[in-house]
Structure 1
Amino acid sequence: MRWPLCNSAARGDNVQALVVALKEERLAGLTSLLTNILLRASRSGSIAMADAVALPCNFLSVALMAFRTLCNALFLDVEAIQGLLRAPDLCMEVYHLVSYLLRFCLARICDEREQATEELLDEVVLFVGLFVVCNPRNQDVLLWGKSPTILQLLCEFPSSYIRDPLRLETLLPTLLSVCYDNHCLLEVNTTGLFVERPLLPFFQDVLESSVELPDQQEERSFSNRHALENRFPRELWQSASEQLCEHVYPS
C-alpha cells in the first residue's frame, strides 16, 4: 500500500536506504525520548499523570519536531513504519504519548488559542491517521485503556477546532482512516457525530472534486501533507464512501 509522497523531492534511490536506517535505529529513539520527558514530569511514574507545569519549557517544540519526523517517516513507507511501531514497546509508547498529548493539547486550546499547541495537535492527529490507515491491529490501539480512549478524544474536539476548515482538513481524513473497515470504531465514531456531520459530507465533496486537475487539488488543500489523497489510498475511496453511507442511512 503506497500512495504519492507529499514531498516529491523525497523520491529517489535513497528513500529505501533511509527507511532501513530508521528501522535499524528504531526511529532515532524519538518515542522513547518523549516518554522519558513525561515520566520525569510525573511523581507517580505514570505518563498519564505527568504534570504539565513540570515539563521543560521547550517541550512543545521538541514534541512537535518528534511527531513531524514520525509522520514524515510514515509518508516514506507507511507499511514498514507501521510495522515497526507495532513492536510491543514502541506501540505502548505510542499509545501513552498520543493519549497524553491529545489531552494536553485539548486542555490548552480550550483555555487559550495558542499556535504552538495547535500545531502540535495537528501533527498528532496527522500521525494517528497514518499510524492506523488500512491497519486493523493499529486501529485497535485507539480503544486501549480507560475512558476517554484515544478514539473518544478524537471525537470530542472543541467547537473552536471543528469550525476551522483548515483544522478539519487535518482531522477528518484521520477519522476516515480510523473507522474504515472497522465496525466497532465506526460505532464509537458515530457518537461524536463525525460520521453524519461533517465526515460524510466532507468525503462526498472530495469524491465529487476528484476529477479536478492535480494543480487545482493542490491549490484547495491546506497542505499536501494533510490532503486526503496523500493519507488514504484513492482506490479505497468508493468503498469508504459506501461504508459511511450504509452506516448513516441503513437499509
Structure 2
Amino acid sequence: MQRFQSILQFKKVSCKNCYKCVRNCPVKAIRVHDHQARIIESQCIYCEKCILVCPQDAKEEQNMIPAICNAMENKTQVIASLHPAYLARFGVTGINGIREAMKKLGFADAADAAEGASLMISQYRALFAEQKEPGIMISSACPVIVQLVKKHYPHLLGNLVQSASMMQFHASYLKKKYPKAEIVYVSPCISAMSELRDSGNEVDYVITLEELVQWMKKEGISIIEKEPEQIAYRSREIAIADGLTDLLGSVKGIRRLSVSGME
C-alpha cells in the first residue's frame, strides 16, 4: 500500500502574490509565507478550488502511478476500480473498451465502482430501517463533504450516515474476488485519497481520471468502444447530482432533501 505525507500542495514557483487561492479557499486552508502559497492540510478538504484559480498552474498532488507500475513489475495482481464518472470522461457507454485499454497498461482487470454503489445503497436502506427516529442525517457519498464535516463541523460527525463509501464497498468486493490483488481506485478528483488514511481502508492506491488519461497517452494506448454491455448499472447515477437520493428511492419515515455544493 502506498504511503504518503501530503495529498495536495503547491509547487515551488514564483508566486505572483495575487492571493487568488487564499481568497477562493472555502475553508481558509491556505497561507502565504515568503511569497509562496502553502496548503494547511489539517484544514484542507481537497476541493481543488485553489488549483482552478491559480494562474501558475502550481498543483502538486500525490502521484501513485510509479508505485503502481512497480507493483505490476513485481508481478502483483493489480485491479482497477473506476468511479462511474469515467463514462463521461472517456465518452463511452460501458466499461468493456476501457477494460481492454487498462489491461494493456498492465492491470489484471478493471471494474465499474457502480458495483460498490449498489452495495452502499443497500447498506443505507438497512441503516434507515433500523432507526425509528433517525433525526437529521447527512449523506457521506462525497469525500469532500466528509472532510468538511470532520475538519470544520465536528459537532455534526454524529449526523453523517455511518456507512462505508462506494470506493470501500467496491474494494472489499474486489478483494473477495481477487484475494491477492492490490486495488487502484480511479477517481474524478483527489479527495478520495483522504480515505487511504482511514481505519478499515481496503484501497491500495488512488489516481485521478486525468492521471489515467495522461498515462494512456504516454503509453500510446487508446480506448476502442466495444459491443454494448449485457448489464448496465443503474447505480452509475451516483456520479450525478441528486443521484444518491434518486437511487435510495422512497424510504418509509424518511424525508429527503437533496443539496449540491458546500454552501
TM-score, L = length of structure 1:
0.29
Higher helix share: 1
**Structure label with greater radius of gyration:** 2
Higher strand share: 2
TM-score, L = length of structure 2:
0.28
